[in-house]
A and B are shown apart, each in its own frame.
Chain A
Amino acid sequence: MDARRPPRAVIDPKVRTVGFFTPPDPIQFDSNSLSPVMIPPPCHSSENLDLHSPPSVTPPSGDESVSVTGSYNGSSSELFPAPMSPALSQKIVAGDGGVGGGIVASSFPRGGGVPVCKLTTVSVVNTDSFAFDERDKPNKGGGSSMEVKDQAMNSKQKNEKSSKAERRALQEAQRAAKAAAKAEGNKATGTVTSGNLKSAKATKPPQKVDNTSVAASEKKGVDRPSEKDRKKDVPHPRMQYDDKSRVEKAKRRAVVNHTESRNRVELFRHLPQYEHGSQLPDLEAKFFQLEPVHPSVYKVGLQYLSGDISGGNARCIAMLQAFQDAIKDYTVPPEKTLVRDLTAKISSYVSFLIECRPLSISMGNAIRFLKSQIAKLPLTLSESESKTSLQSDIERFIYEKIILADKVIVEHAVTKIRDGDVLLTYGSSSAVEMILLRAHELGKQFQVVVVDSRPSLKGKLLLRRLVEKGLTCTYTHINAVSFIMHEVTRVFLGASSVLSNGTVYSGVGTASVAMVAHAFHVPVIVCCEAFKFHERVQLDSICSNELGDPDVISKVSGRGDVNHLDAWANAENLQLLNLIYDATPSDYVSIIVTDYGMIPPTSVPVVVREYSREQVWI
């Protein structure tokens, strides 16, 4: 691998194009142009080939092609949602390269199938290098495979710039991979991760022989932690809506006709904001044109759009159940494989849902889980078996990660409520509600202060449910929180997500409540299921947020006298801003109650890390 680098560093891309123009590969060209986003090089390096070459060399049955593509999906989509950005696909390369430079190929669409024979020699060389020393041997093999990659890229890429960027990313990834491999080679025994890698190595020779994607997926699972670490260097591929060209592209793809709202707030141009009310009728009208969207997904999307389903858990469960329905009704189209086609299908559903309302972080996590489950499906399973297995996976996710987690959280948090307490909660959090009801069931004597804020006024609904159950409640609005805070002994807050720097990402206003509680020295207890944790970090509420419908700000429900802003859209200097989330700094949070127990905000990254590993092993 070391040998690979010098030529890359020295040789200009154009020179390389010329040099390796000789093996023109129409098939590769086709396969590559298939998806413009995924441009991993067509090289078949060692490992993948070793996995798949025997079948492809031997008279291939229909099974074989399945296995190959399956493993492709296994490596890529397990880790990332399907609409992969170039950066992500690079990461795959990087991650796998860490062990053996090889899986590069496996992340390449259809790469495994067709050009195998041509590159067999290369792969053989690579195998050696992989198994023992990556520094010396792969001069030839590694180099040539790289060149093939480049050539493929160049032949396929219309966009010179992006290919360049990608190559740079690739190069860096490989460098990182090399470093990792070196480190690994150096220490025979070491940290857990390196141990894992070692075992991965050890399991490889058998893999070569038996060629089951189970082994492959296992190997990938083992790889995961090191990949994750590297992944963090890569910027998150969130769509930035101030990037005109990308917005244009997205618009062309969009199912729903969005009308950009007028009078947008300058600070938030990077977030999407659409004229509310234009989407719903449009979507309804398009129902029959939108064949690819499963009816129950469609229904959930509309419910998101109209706000009928809100709240992190409810949205997540609704989405998963819709996917369950969709999977139940799904049949593999002829000449397609379940794993690939279903992943694509789910991705299209997800992008439909995003158009209805941007995903919450917890939903992103759930989707990631589902995709990894799809990718990990053993190839030996029949269609119906894999469908039932997926459905039960979803079922289990809902049960274990949401319902059971909530139960655990309730049990933990109830211990923090004592007789005579005055508990303050903000907005409406399902976890907090369960805690309060449970404490009431246990016969604890306490009062609840429900703080609410415009425009959602979800606290009213919570208040109603609590009063119905016989709790003693006080209701007030967020401005009065410093008035009421004198009497409060604990603050219970829900969260949409907890980010790995300890920031609590939650409904707008949570930060203010936590701040006032902190100023009054009242402990702040955040209740959040671990599946909502995310490795992202955020310092403010502006870089990433969701914009709600600005019209609801101008109208105050039940107050006909407040109508000064009725014609706000016509005033050119006037904007209305309806933020949905805000970020609570971690120093305002005393404790986070999660299904792993009660932890300080500084321990969030640990949970994120452990959790992601566990998720892989499920």
Chain B
Amino acid sequence: MPDVHTLVNEFLNQLKKRKIEGSQATAKQAAELLRSVISQQRLPQTHQATALISAVRAVGEKLIAANPVELAVGNIVRRVLHIIREEDLSLATAAIDGLELSAVSDDEDDVERDDYPVLSAAAVAAAARSTLRPPSLQTLLEDTPISAAIPHTSSSGGDSEGKSRSVDKSSRGRKLKHDVIEAVNELIQDISTCYEQIAEQAVEHIHQNEVILTLGSSKTVLEFLCAAKEKKRSFKVFVAEGAPRYQGHLLAKELAARGLQTTVITDSAVFAMISRVNMVIVGAHAVMANGGVIAPVGLNMVALAAQRHAVPFVVLAGSHKLCPLYPHNPEVLLNELRSPSELLDFGEFSDCMDSASGGSLHVVNPTFDYVPPKLVSLFITDTGGHNPSYMYRLIADYYSADDLVVKRRPATTS
């Protein structure tokens, strides 16, 4: 336990000090942290899922509070909670199956029974996510009773199925934890490979001799463009430098090194150049449920320019960036002001203030921009391309409805 505590505190500190750059790294680390939380968590005999959920939630709450702007952390916490719920559900169904099974063939050794449900749980979980879940009225109808039933079964299930539970309590406890950790591992795997899945779709979107504009730097965009280049597409890329951080320079260097025709432009020249651009491809910081994008600063300007010239504005986002929340005043509330020294040296600043006679000087250096859904033409995630209007539905596949607000309920109650 102390081990986990130190890990959590370390991560919290990093988040608070904004030491971790990029939502992908944050997401991965958060998932890894939660995995160790789960593995260290001692489970009671009953209500295991609830115990796990509350443990994860307690840690997750702290993580989110440490950096509320880094939505990826919240996303991962919710994803893990969702995983726990799903695994518990599949275990419960498997247990019912197993009950029937054990009723038929009474004598089976523990080991075999241990193995068999694990497989089935994973299969059920996977199936639930991929095949059973596609939006249909049936699943929608099924969803509500099940999610309502989960706490029911886990809490009051003890009475009705008490005897069967008491039989394989210990094995089920281990199973749940094991399954959840397996699933979290899968999630981590997903996060680290989401580039490849997005990049695979590059050829479908980039044609020969295309002119592409991007701003700042995003690993997803880099991989996407390079994937198209590897497929022998030849196209040109304009890279806007992305002012206070100038990561566009880095991206341009990488692209040029990989043999792409690259032109670096200043951010101010975006409007001038966009009339000769066929497509804008950018990365995102987070994608909100309404299809709006929290993106590196400057992208709202690019999106407006693209709209003016009817240039498609394509956002690449891994699934860990999909946030189930709807934004309210995101320009301010989901934003963060960085150090003014990136714009104005402290020396220059104090010079200005020295000579000031009664005036005052503020330096504004926001990190993010909010691009409203109407300016986005297409989202490309690891599951394919989607309209902004579809994002809420896509998000429903990854998160359970209970967790959206539940995130804050303990905070308000406690």
Q: Is residue B111 contacting chain A, with contact meaning CB distance below 8 A? A: no
Cα-based distance from A42 to B337 in the complex (angstroms) = 72
> Given contacts A470-B359, A565-B249, is CB(A454)–CB(B241) below 8 Å?
yes
> Given contacts A554-B249, A564-B250, A573-B260, is CB(A477)–CB(B343) below 8 Å?
yes
Q: Is residue A255 contacting chain B, with contact meaning CB distance below 8 A? A: no
Give the residue among B252, B272, B275, B369 with the most A Cβ atoms within 10 A. Answer: B272
Cα-based distance from A575 to B265 in the complex (angstroms) = 9
- Stretch of B34-42, B51-59, B122-130, B299-307 lying at the A interface: B299-307
Shortest distance in angstroms between B246's beta carbon and chain A's nearest beta carbon?
4
- Stretch of B12-20, B195-203, B348-356, B397-405 lying at the A interface: B348-356
Cα-based distance from A575 to B256 in the complex (angstroms) = 9
Shortest distance in angstroms between A464's beta carbon and chain B's nearest beta carbon?
5
Q: Is residue A363 contacting chain B, with contact meaning CB distance below 8 A? A: no
Whether B264 pairs with A576 at a CB distance below 8 angstroms is yes
221-267 of chain B: CB within 8 A of chain A: 236, 241-244, 246, 249-250, 252-253, 255-257, 259-267
> Given contacts A511-B271, A512-B305, is CB(A476)–CB(B260) below 8 Å?
no
Cα-based distance from A463 to B362 in the complex (angstroms) = 11
> Given contacts A463-B352, A468-B356, A483-B297, is CB(A477)–CB(B243) below 8 Å?
yes
> Given contacts A453-B268, A475-B343, A574-B264, is CB(A483)–CB(B364) below 8 Å?
yes
Residues in B whose Cβ lies below 8 Å from that of A583: 272
Cα-based distance from A573 to B355 in the complex (angstroms) = 46
For residue A466, which residue of chain B has the nearest CB?
A: B359
Residues in A whose Cβ lies below 8 Å from that of B272: 508, 511, 540-542, 545, 579, 582-583
Whether B269 pairs with A516 at a CB distance below 8 angstroms is no
Whether B352 pairs with A464 at a CB distance below 8 angstroms is yes
Cα-based distance from A578 to B266 in the complex (angstroms) = 7
> Given contacts A553-B241, A556-B246, is CB(A471)–CB(B269) below 8 Å?
no
Shortest distance in angstroms between B314's beta carbon and chain A's nearest beta carbon?
19
Encode B358-402 as 1/0 by CB contact (under 8 A) with A. Answer: 111111111001000000000000000000000000000000000
Whether A467 pairs with B352 at a CB distance below 8 angstroms is yes
311-358 of chain B: CB within 8 A of chain A: 331, 335, 342-345, 348, 351-353, 355-358
Shortest distance in angstroms between B368's beta carbon and chain A's nearest beta carbon?
9
Whether A516 pairs with B301 at a CB distance below 8 angstroms is yes
Whether A483 pairs with B366 at a CB distance below 8 angstroms is yes
Whether B276 pairs with A454 at a CB distance below 8 angstroms is no
Cα-based distance from A564 to B262 in the complex (angstroms) = 14
> Given contacts A463-B361, A482-B369, is CB(A564)–CB(B304) below 8 Å?
no
Cα-based distance from A491 to B391 in the complex (angstroms) = 35
Whether B297 pairs with A479 at a CB distance below 8 angstroms is yes
Q: Is residue B308 contacting chain A, with contact meaning CB distance below 8 A? A: yes
Cα-based distance from A583 to B268 in the complex (angstroms) = 12
Q: Is residue B76 contacting chain A, with contact meaning CB distance below 8 A? A: no
Cα-based distance from A215 to B390 in the complex (angstroms) = 76
Shortest distance in angstroms between B82's beta carbon and chain A's nearest beta carbon?
33
- From B255, B260, B271, B359, contact of A582 by CB (8 A): B271
For the residues of B in contact with A, the DSSP-based class is mixed
For residue B246, which residue of chain A has the nearest CB?
A: A562
Encode A537-573 as 1/0 by CB contact (under 8 A) with B. Answer: 0001110010000000110101100101100100101
Residues in A whose Cβ lies below 8 Å from that of B275: 540-542
Q: Is residue B283 contacting chain A, with contact meaning CB distance below 8 A? A: no
Shortest distance in angstroms between A28's beta carbon and chain B's nearest beta carbon?
49
Q: Is residue A481 contacting chain B, with contact meaning CB distance below 8 A? A: yes
For residue A573, which residue of chain B has the nearest CB?
A: B256
Whether A473 pairs with B264 at a CB distance below 8 angstroms is no
Shortest distance in angstroms between A548's beta carbon and chain B's nearest beta carbon?
10
Our count of residue pairs bridging A and B at CB distance below 8 angstroms stands at: 193
Cα-based distance from A542 to B363 in the complex (angstroms) = 33
Q: Is residue B270 contacting chain A, with contact meaning CB distance below 8 A? A: yes
Cα-based distance from A509 to B269 in the complex (angstroms) = 6
Whether B361 pairs with A470 at a CB distance below 8 angstroms is no
Whether B243 pairs with A582 at a CB distance below 8 angstroms is no
- From A478, A483, A556, A577, contact of B335 by CB (8 A): A483
Whether B362 pairs with A475 at a CB distance below 8 angstroms is yes
Encode A315-329 as 1/0 by CB contact (under 8 A) with B. Answer: 000000000000000
141-170 of chain A: CB within 8 A of chain B: none
420-474 of chain A: CB within 8 A of chain B: 452-455, 460, 463-464, 466-474
For residue A487, which residue of chain B has the nearest CB?
A: B364
Residues in A whose Cβ lies below 8 Å from that of B292: none
Whether A265 pairs with B353 at a CB distance below 8 angstroms is no
For the residues of A in contact with B, the DSSP-based class is mixed
Whether A575 pairs with B361 at a CB distance below 8 angstroms is no
Encode A472-513 as 1/0 by CB contact (under 8 A) with B. Answer: 111111111111101000000000000000000000110110
> Given contacts A454-B241, A554-B249, A564-B253, is CB(A577)–CB(B264) below 8 Å?
yes
> Given contacts A470-B359, A479-B242, A515-B305, is CB(A553)–CB(B268) below 8 Å?
no
Residues in A whose Cβ lies below 8 Å from that of B263: 265, 574-577
Q: Is residue A239 contacting chain B, with contact meaning CB distance below 8 A? A: no
Cα-based distance from A178 to B261 in the complex (angstroms) = 54
Shortest distance in angstroms between B359's beta carbon and chain A's nearest beta carbon?
4
Cα-based distance from A540 to B297 in the complex (angstroms) = 25
Q: Is residue B117 contacting chain A, with contact meaning CB distance below 8 A? A: no
Encode A512-550 as 1/0 by CB contact (under 8 A) with B. Answer: 100110010000000000000000000011100100000
Residues in B whose Cβ lies below 8 Å from that of A466: 359
Cα-based distance from A559 to B304 in the complex (angstroms) = 29
> Given contacts A475-B343, A475-B362, A482-B301, is CB(A512)–CB(B268) below 8 Å?
yes
For residue A574, which residue of chain B has the nearest CB?
A: B256
Whether A480 pairs with B365 at a CB distance below 8 angstroms is yes
Whether A464 pairs with B267 at a CB distance below 8 angstroms is no
For residue A584, which residue of chain B has the nearest CB?
A: B271
Q: Is residue A192 contacting chain B, with contact meaning CB distance below 8 A? A: no
Cα-based distance from A582 to B260 in the complex (angstroms) = 26
Cα-based distance from A585 to B213 in the complex (angstroms) = 21
Give the residue among A469, A484, A512 with the most B Cβ atoms within 10 A. Answer: A512
Whether A571 pairs with B256 at a CB distance below 8 angstroms is yes
Q: Is residue A267 contacting chain B, with contact meaning CB distance below 8 A? A: yes
Residues in B whose Cβ lies below 8 Å from that of A474: 361-364
244-277 of chain A: CB within 8 A of chain B: 265-267
Residues in B whose Cβ lies below 8 Å from that of A479: 242-244, 267, 297-298, 301, 369
Cα-based distance from A571 to B253 in the complex (angstroms) = 8
Whether A562 pairs with B304 at a CB distance below 8 angstroms is no
Shortest distance in angstroms between A245's beta carbon and chain B's nearest beta carbon?
27
Residues in B whose Cβ lies below 8 Å from that of A470: 356-359
Residues in B whose Cβ lies below 8 Å from that of A483: 297, 331, 335, 364, 366, 369
Whether B266 pairs with A508 at a CB distance below 8 angstroms is yes
Whether B360 pairs with A473 at a CB distance below 8 angstroms is yes
Whether B359 pairs with A573 at a CB distance below 8 angstroms is no
- From B244, B300, B355, B359, contact of A477 by CB (8 A): B244
Whether A565 pairs with B267 at a CB distance below 8 angstroms is no
Cα-based distance from A541 to B272 in the complex (angstroms) = 5
Give the residue among A477, A509, A556 with the most B Cβ atoms within 10 A. Answer: A477
For residue B252, which residue of chain A has the nearest CB?
A: A574
Whether A453 pairs with B243 at a CB distance below 8 angstroms is yes
A sample of 9 more A-B contacts (CB under 8 A), given A454-B243, A483-B364, A583-B272, is A452-B343, A467-B361, A469-B359, A478-B301, A515-B301, A515-B305, A574-B262, A579-B266, A582-B272
Q: List 30 A-B contacts (CB under 8 A).
A: A452-B343, A453-B266, A453-B268, A467-B353, A467-B356, A467-B359, A467-B360, A470-B357, A474-B364, A476-B363, A477-B244, A478-B267, A478-B268, A479-B298, A479-B301, A483-B369, A511-B272, A512-B301, A516-B304, A541-B275, A545-B272, A553-B241, A558-B345, A564-B249, A565-B249, A573-B260, A573-B261, A574-B264, A579-B269, A582-B268
Please list the 4 inter-chain residue pairs (A to B) with the smallest Cβ-Cβ separation, ordered nearest first. Answer: A509-B268, A479-B298, A541-B272, A574-B256
- B residues adjacent to A (C-beta < 8 A): 236, 241-244, 246, 249-250, 252-253, 255-257, 259-273, 275-276, 297-298, 300-301, 304-305, 308, 331, 335, 342-345, 348, 351-353, 355-366, 369
